[in-house]
Structure 1
Amino acid sequence: MKRFALGVFLLISLVMAGSYTVRPGDTLWRISREQGVDLTTLTLANHLKNTALHPGQRLIIPELHVAIKGDTLWSLARRYNTTVAEIKVLNGLQSNELRVGQRLWIPAQEKREEPVNVIAIARSYLGYPYRYGGAGPNSFDCSGFVQYVYGKLGIKLPRTAAAQWSALPAAAEPEPGDLVFFSFSGNRIDHVGIYLGNGRFIHANSYKKKIVIEDLNAPWYQRVYRGSKRVNPPPQTAIR
């Protein structure tokens, strides 16, 4: 019996998100019952203003996760390629605290087009060591990493984060491949990374001593985040 219960628990905790195409005669209430998602959650996940549907409309079905020991909103956001804010909105959470066994709906993420060259090259250096002054190919500091990755595409960038900030045009909202900048010192640009999409960025982290992917929306990064800049010309090939 215990083995059966554990199997049910694991199955529930790994329910996969998907999509549903509305058929003639469908109602939002019927779809929510068939998909096992409550009506409010389905409405929020699809940003619907009312319950009106039309045939052919595509609905996102969110993913169900049951919290286990060690789960945090930050770890779930990283695992599911979403943000803490989106998880909180979809589940009506007022705090960041989770309890074991808590059922959480995770926003399903649409596949986005990403610059294949920049993203693929940057990801290929995950785990490489951080070294102050490092500009590759075996170790990097933050601006050296960014310069090296774009250099592989034949795009020349300045050497320091401050110079990169000054040289590039601003991006209103970061898109995959854009550079994201920070000011840990409080009065100048002193850190940079490459935005991956879905609130994540890759950078040479001096504290963790390696190339890592992290959540741009984490409080410690939002406090020092200064904005994003776009590298021109952007890569032309995209992953679909």
Structure 2
Amino acid sequence: MKRLALGVFLFLGLVRAGTYVVQPGDTLWRISQAQRVDLTTLILANHLHGTELHPGQKLLIPERYVVAKGDTLWSLARRFGTSVAELKRLNGLSGDSLRAGQTLWVPAPARPEPAPGVVTVARAYLGRPYRYGAAGPDAFDCSGFVQYVFGKLGIKLPRTAATQWSQLEPVSSPQAGDLVFFSFSGGRVDHVGIYLGDGRFIHANSYERRVVVENLEAPWYRKVYLGARRVDGSQITAAR
């Protein structure tokens, strides 16, 4: 049993950010089953002309994406760093129309590292006063703090938490440097902070009246937490 568990652990551990490194004894069928990818899709995604594999070969592992209202092949191609033709080839599409709820295979999105220095810059302002409408450097509100920190790194973000939420790319599990969003009102996005890692985030807290570090897993924050968004160097938008 221990040997089996170790084998499964090692097998799964070879997947990194949408790629898989082929090991001795691997077959395409085994990889497709383990990664829950259709065999034909796996072959198409890697432009393979046969089933022969060799140890050390890197395979791209596509992901499933559920089409949302307003999505187009062009917008999805841009989001996932591919082409419309490749999306159509991968999914056997002949036309350009999509429908909400449709499931597509897409290239696994790149997992960029957090913007360099985000955590370091953010921590430098611990204890600065909270003031509604302030965007630094002497005082901040929540979104002003986030905008100022990223601005120090040359990345211009929208001014409000709601616009930051709507314009940035969603992520299921935050990493250090990602933005974390909340709804204290119960309806709209009205608060934002910067995730530091290890379940902690930094934000301009209106109750504490200063920039503080707190636990994202605290019951109160889990209750009002909405999700996370990622900023990278390619997501430079005009400040609003």
Q: Which residue of 1 aligns with 2:81?
A: none
Give the alignment of 1:34-183 within 5 angstroms: 116-183=116-183
What SS class does the counterpart of residue 204 from structure 1 fall into? strand
Q: Distance in 1 between matches of 2:170 and 2:143?
A: 17
CA contact (8 A) 2:114 2:231 kept: no
User: What percent identity do the matched residue pairs reach?
Assistant: 66
By how many angstroms is 1:233 displaced? 1.7
The CA deviation at 1:172 is 1.5
Letter in 2 for 1:121: V
TM-score calculated relative to the size of structure 2? 0.50
Deviation at 1:232, TM superposition (A): 2.0
> How far is the alpha carbon of 1:221 from its aligned partner?
0.1
* 1:186 partnered with 2:186: yes
- Spell out the pairing of 1:196-211 with structure 2 (5 A cutoff): 196-211=196-211
**What's the C-alpha RMSD, in Å, of the aligned pairs?**
2.7
Secondary structure class of the residue paired with 2:202: strand
Output the amino acid matched with 2:143.
S
The answer to whether the Cα contact below 8 Å between 2:129 and 2:211 also exists between their aligned partners in 1 is yes
Partners of 2:161 and 2:192 within 8 A in 1: yes
Q: Which runs of 5+ in 2 are unaligned?
A: 7-112, 236-240
- Three-state SS of the structure 2 residue aligned to 1:223 is helix
Is this contact kept in 1: 2:174–2:229, CA < 8 A? yes
Residues 148-202 of structure 1: CA deviation (Å, up to 9, x unaligned): 0000011010000001001101011100000000000000000000000000000
- Which amino acid is the alignment partner of residue 215 of structure 2? D
Equivalences for residues 7-26 of structure 1 within 5 A: none
The TM-score normalised by the length of structure 1 is 0.50
Q: After the TM superposition, which segments of 4 or more aligned residues of structure 1 sit over 6 Å from their partners?
A: none
Residues 232, 115 of structure 1: alpha-carbon distance in 2 compared, 3 angstrom cutoff: closer
1:13-67 CA-to-partner distances (Å, cap 9, x unmatched) read xxxxxxxxxxxxxxxxxxxxxxxxxxxxxxxxxxxx68xxxxxxxxxxxxxxxxx
Equivalenced residues, count: 131
